[in-house]
Amino acid sequence: MTHFPLVVFDLDGTLVDTAPDLISALNWVLNREGLPPVPLQSARTMIGQGARRLIERGLELEGREMSMADITRLTTDFIDHYAKHIADASRPFDGLIEALDDMAARGHRFAVCTNKLEWLSKLLLDQLGLTPRFQAVCGADTFGVSKPDPVILQQTVARAGGQMSAVVMVGDAGPDIGVARRAGVPVIGVEFGYTEVPIADLKPDLLIGHFRDLPAAVDRLLAKNKA
């Protein structure tokens, strides 16, 4: 039996450029605490480990220490505000739609495996009109584990109806490379994401700088897997 190829994407910094709305929400919280805003460009690399960690890093930048309870309060307020503005400026990265159309026409299917909360991920994809393209959308709270724990990827693949032997992961940062490695699947790194460590240094199987190159990269890794 031939299983359909499944391409599993990270969300923030991979599928969608979410930094403008995430950092805007962070700055809203910081401003309320009397702290100066963080610049968008330098803050992009702070994204990808969930809302609470983003808040913590924003406070660290200002040398501000807060109790766990205060950080929890700020995180809750951040999420409430962010949900209302989740797609004000967030957009799919250039070439994504064409790449998905190309691969879908050849029988590929797609899923999302992210450290964003599942409901926020679905809300974002809904507002961008992308939800119908994905067999499954799974977040940090879906299975109780986050990337790079391989369980989140394995369970995402299962929910999407795929087989681990026909999966390619696509991501922009360490948790994506790590989850793929631990789950034993090939991984493509995108060069336009939010990682602090250059994606090339994390040694994905292949690197792309634009989504126009994704279909060929996916096919190359799937063919290698079959060999």
What amino acid positions are annotated as catalytic residues? 10
Give the three-state DSSP class for 169.
strand
CB atoms within 10 A of CB 129: 11
User: Quick one: DSSP state of residue 141?
Assistant: T
The span from the CA of 179 to the CA of 189, in Å, is 13
Residue type for 132, please? P
The span from the CA of 156 to the CA of 130, in Å, is 17
Q: Which two tokens stand for residue 89?
A: 């400026």
The span from the CA of 150 to the CA of 189, in Å, is 17
